[in-house]
A and B are shown apart, each in its own frame.
Chain A
Amino acid sequence: MKKEMIELLNDQQYSLSFSISDELNIAGKTGCSLSQVEDAALALGIVPLRYQRNLGAISIAEQRRLLNSRVSVIGCGGLGGFVIEELARLGIGEISAWDYDYFQEHNLNRQLMAEYRLIGHSKIEAVSRRVRRINPGIKFYGMYREFNEQEAGESLKREQVVVDALDSVPARLELSRACCHLGIPMVHGAVNTWYGQVSTQFPGEDVIEQIYAGKEKYRLGEKSVLVFAASLVASLQVAEVLKIILNRGDLLRQKIMLVDTLSMDMEIIDMPKNDD
């Protein structure tokens, strides 16, 4: 099956243009999945057209690494919708997403996946459909449940990176503990009104504890979130995910980036590990 696929890939002039219909054609002839076809193509230096404009910024080998990566997004609201959209377009091979909620009208101001006709529908179903439409090669796992530390162990242990797109302090502290326990890096993002923050925490680090411990009972800020604050913070989170997977660039480890779209500035603050 794989040999046949490689022969088909080598026979054609795909190095010039390898489209989704070519991929589907080979997958249909050989019984391989789209991700297997893409993986074999990238290994031969053939780049699917959908990833062509990623190249230059990243290499063919790096695109293949993304295809063989798995990322989990916890929360499919304002941040999570944009994060998943961007992970799918980048070509992350496996994406899991957690949310137990349904769309409500007040989600329409900022949540990418929210549409008027989907009010009352599951967020996970909407995200799943969206991912399939953007990139049918992606393996998507919808976790229709509320995040909690106990369940996380079994479900998250295969993830390479976890994205914090939650909306409460206690849940974030639980996620941070779970990721530290499982040895998984976590990319944190949070938003409120015009403002946002981003940080990356590797196992053994403590930025999330420093930010939130002892604040479980507080509502931090207003209920309002403007769409550009959400999309901006989500994009910064995805950039962190990409760099973790590719082991490139600089990460916001033991640092927090504060984003202010009203004053139009960003500042990075060092938050060294608290050894006390």
Chain B
Amino acid sequence: MILTVKLFANLRQGRFKVRDMDFSEGTTVQQVMEYLSISKKEMAIGIIFINGKRANFDSVLEDHDTLAIFPPVAGG
């Protein structure tokens, strides 16, 4: 199945802003993040959306879903 993956802020570094990617049926958000070598800490911090709706690591993705992940920052 084809997913559109959108990354924000420092998650883009060494990766990409947006990319269509092919994954097998039943892939979870966590599996996509592991495939992209996103660290455990970044995973814990990241805010996840599927098709604009809040999701979590265990959410199962479907064909043509858009997965977006942003890591909030807290500096001032």
Contact = CB atoms under 8 A, between A and B. Distances in A.
Contact count band on A: 35 or more
A165 B71 contact: no
Interface stretch (A6-14, A57-65, A73-81): A73-81
B72 interface: yes
Main secondary structure of the interface of B (DSSP, over half): mixed
Contacts, number: 83
A258 B9 contact: yes
B17 interface: yes
Interface in B49-76: 49, 52, 54, 68, 70-76
Given A215-B45, A274-B54, A263 B17 contact: yes
B76 A167 contact: yes
A166 B73 contact: no
Q: Select the residue from B45, B47, B70, B72 with max chain A CB neighbours within 10 A.
A: B72
A211 B70 CA distance: 10
Main secondary structure of the interface of A (DSSP, over half): mixed
A221 B41 contact: no
Given A195-B10, A258-B8, A260-B9, A190 B72 contact: yes
Nearest to B72: A211
Nearest to A221: B73
B76 A191 contact: yes
Contacts of B70: 256, 258, 269
Interface of B: 8-10, 12-13, 17, 41, 44-45, 47, 49, 52, 54, 68, 70-76
Interface of A: 75, 77-80, 164-169, 172, 189-197, 210-212, 215, 218, 220-221, 223, 225, 256, 258, 260, 262-263, 265, 267, 269-271, 274
